Amino acid sequence: MRKVVKNDTVKVISGNYRGKTGKVLKVFPKKNRIIVEGVNLRKHHERPSQALPQGGIIEKEAPIHISNVKVVCPKCGRPTRVGIRILEDNSKVRYCKHQDCGEII
């Protein structure tokens, strides 16, 4: 089970974007990389297209490694490590590892 999934809110803990939080837009499970909204922007030169009639330079998120982020717990609002717990019906859930929280994410 993946610890970071699409639409999670994560906080960047290392690199140029340290401290920034954003939503996970895309996950590349095999590469352990994710794209986070507004994080690791790279400039791309684009040819003119329908969406961008003038062409030019646009900024786009580049993937970052999963180990550079922490999931922000939706309940306690703190960046946390994510635990995996197996329920009685054998389904797996993710939970916040803060001892005073433990919310299922």
User: Can you give the binding site for Zn ion, defined by CB under 5 A?
Assistant: 73, 75-76, 96, 98, 101, 103
Least distance CB 18 / Zn ion (angstroms): 21
Least distance CB 7 / Zn ion (angstroms): 17
The amino acid sitting at 40 is N
Least distance CB 80 / Zn ion (angstroms): 6
Give the nearer residue to Zn ion in terms of CB position, either 63 or 102: 102
Measured distance CA(5)–CA(23) in Å, rounded: 10
Residue reference for tokens 């895309």: 26
